Chain A
């Protein structure tokens, strides 16, 4: 392979990882909630959007970035707690379809509220890092590197938390068998709230990654639909799986865009990820890493 093709290949890989990191970040937030409560939160991207708007708003007031970040994190805790308390708590025991529709309804509410509070325009997040790195012909926007770093860091922190800390252990216990966990003295209600709060905190990272790699607007909420292939690929209840799934889909989209451009007459990159999802579901109905649940037709 000549040097130019090699550069193109490397560039495609780098592009793919950058996009994939954003998918992975948001996907992990969704996976956390699913693992703990079996709920697929359709409003996760909208939550990320709202939290990013908070960040943007605070920075717009001239405050330094750590103040803005702190505000977002605090808002994340509040939002997660509120949603869990007001809506999810009341829907305990309801069938899955009901709860998912509730999150869809929540998504619409958040969209409307954000429209009223912050308007329908597109905004650019304030420049904290600008410019790009260039290594032997392959370039990477600094903001893309940010996405990759944030996603990886969150995965690492989560993994450690879940496996080492007592609370993490309690969460894992709850998600595998709620009744026994209760019998062992674990406060389920607290765990449930904690799960949502953690997911919201992750959403701050995801929202910033997304906002920096693209722009901030109401359209961010629609991002939830784009990460589904990643989640499916990785299997909903495996955090590591979703992370890998996100990167994989990102690479897929990037490669399809560069090398398969003419195949479907454009916009092939996204179609490929959905086709791939469909095919994988035929073979492995629970994703590549998902837990196999014994059910047959």
Chain B
């Protein structure tokens, strides 16, 4: 049974070898980069905090995409893997005294290992049953960290930011660099043989097997990469929050990430980026809506909170009904419009 819509991806993967074709795109990317690098100098703590959360979400979403979008396996263990990454970073720095830049990739490796460990016995499962197996993982992981005194059990662990990047602004640059590197890697993977193999597995796994692609190997490989990315996202979020407890990884976190992929467009790195930005930033925008309409204090915060929940659900359902390719699909449509102008419609 197929899990992921596949129509637009077939074209996408075949001809987009280079990231940017036109001069316009290159200039646009340059401008965007400049803006993103200049912004933290001017922004206040709130915006910085949001930006950091968004960047972390991007890394996590891309990671999830490897498993769900690219290779078509269902996974609802996202929160658990982020927890593993976060706690690994915290413990490696706290108990073993490793510097942040060593602990973080190591945490990624640990999470990758955990992901593979789960991926291996579940290779045979499909659809709902696979989802349940990954959900069981979530549950077990949260239980373990809640009880294991080595990682602080319920009390949690404090996490220090690296000494050279302890301020918000410097941490932003560090995170930006890490994110940029990982995004670049993801683009490359997407367009490599591995990425295409994953696409084949997702679309018609029997045919892929018949064509000589070892399903087991590539599925596991997807799990490994996914674990690595999500683990790093977890580590970054631990440093951002500077204190982690089991409460930081509720099941709703997994749902948010799945929502990011859905809204952004499954199966492409860019889609994952769009989705992460959207889901992180738009609900926050709701905080400012009453002020925008001059209602200010009239709307009770409880109403606002319920409203945010409804909005999240509406975004998900709305995207599914009216924009099934997600933001990525819209993006492609926009580009197509401009490219074929004045013949576009």
Contact = CB atoms under 8 A, between A and B. Distances in A.
> Are the chains A and B members of one assembly?
yes
Interface of A: 38, 40, 87, 90-91, 94-99, 101-102, 104-113, 115-116, 120, 225, 228-229, 232, 236, 264-265, 267, 270-271, 274-275, 277-278, 281-282, 285-287, 293, 295-297
B92 interface: no
Contact of B3 (A91, A96, A120, A297): A96
Contacts of B310: 108-109, 112-113
Ordered nearest first, which 10 A-B pairs have the shortest CB separation? Answer: A105-B316, A108-B313, A109-B313, A112-B310, A112-B309, A115-B306, A105-B317, A278-B136, A105-B313, A274-B136
Contact of A271 (B143, B219, B251): B143
B12 to A, nearest CB: 17
B223 to A, nearest CB: 14
B211 interface: no
Interface in B118-148: 121-129, 132-133, 135-137, 139-140, 143, 147
Interface majority SS on B: helix, strand, loop or mixed? helix
Contacts of A293: 126
B306 A98 contact: no
B140 A274 contact: yes
Contacts of A112: 306-311, 313
Contacts of A38: 1
A109 B317 contact: yes
Interface string B1-17: 11111000000000000
B109 interface: no
B132 A108 contact: no
B2 A95 contact: yes
A94 B317 contact: no
Pick the most buried of A38, A94, A105, A264: most chain B CB atoms within 10 A of its CB.
A105
Interface residues of B, number: 52
B74 to A, nearest CB: 7
A96 B127 contact: yes
Contacts of A98: 5, 262, 320, 324
A64 B147 CA distance: 48
Contacts of A297: 123-124, 215-216, 219
B5 A120 contact: no
B314 interface: yes
A198 to B, nearest CB: 20
A110 B126 CA distance: 29
A101 B126 contact: no
B255 interface: yes
Given A108-B309, A297-B123, A267 B143 contact: yes
Nearest to B318: A105
Given A90-B321, A108-B309, A116-B306, A97 B215 contact: no
Nearest to A103: B317
Contact of B320 (A101, A116, A270, A287): A101
Interface in B169-184: none
Given A98-B5, A98-B324, A297-B123, A236 B128 contact: yes
B147 A265 contact: yes
Nearest to B5: A95
Contacts of B315: 105
A105 B251 contact: no
B24 interface: no
Nearest to B128: A40
B208 to A, nearest CB: 11
Contact of B129 (A90, A104, A270, A285): A285
Given A97-B74, A102-B316, 14 more contacts: A97-B68, A98-B5, A102-B317, A102-B321, A105-B313, A109-B313, A112-B307, A112-B313, A115-B306, A232-B129, A236-B128, A271-B143, A274-B139, A281-B136
B210 interface: no
B331 interface: no
B199 interface: no
Contacts of B309: 108-109, 111-112, 115
Contacts of B5: 94-95, 98
A104 B316 contact: yes
Contacts of B306: 112-113, 115-116
Contacts of B262: 98, 101
B302 interface: yes
A285 B1 CA distance: 15
Given A94-B5, A274-B140, A104 B126 contact: no
13 contacts: A87-B317, A95-B2, A97-B4, A99-B320, A102-B317, A109-B313, A109-B314, A112-B310, A267-B143, A281-B122, A281-B129, A281-B133, A285-B129
A104 B305 CA distance: 18
B187 interface: no
Pick the most buried of B135, B139, B315: most chain A CB atoms within 10 A of its CB.
B139
Contacts of B308: 112
B316 A94 contact: no
Contacts of B133: 277-278, 281
A116 B304 CA distance: 10
Contacts of A271: 139-140, 143
A54 B230 CA distance: 42
B321 A285 contact: no
A101 B124 contact: no
Contacts of B128: 40, 96, 236
A232 B129 CA distance: 7
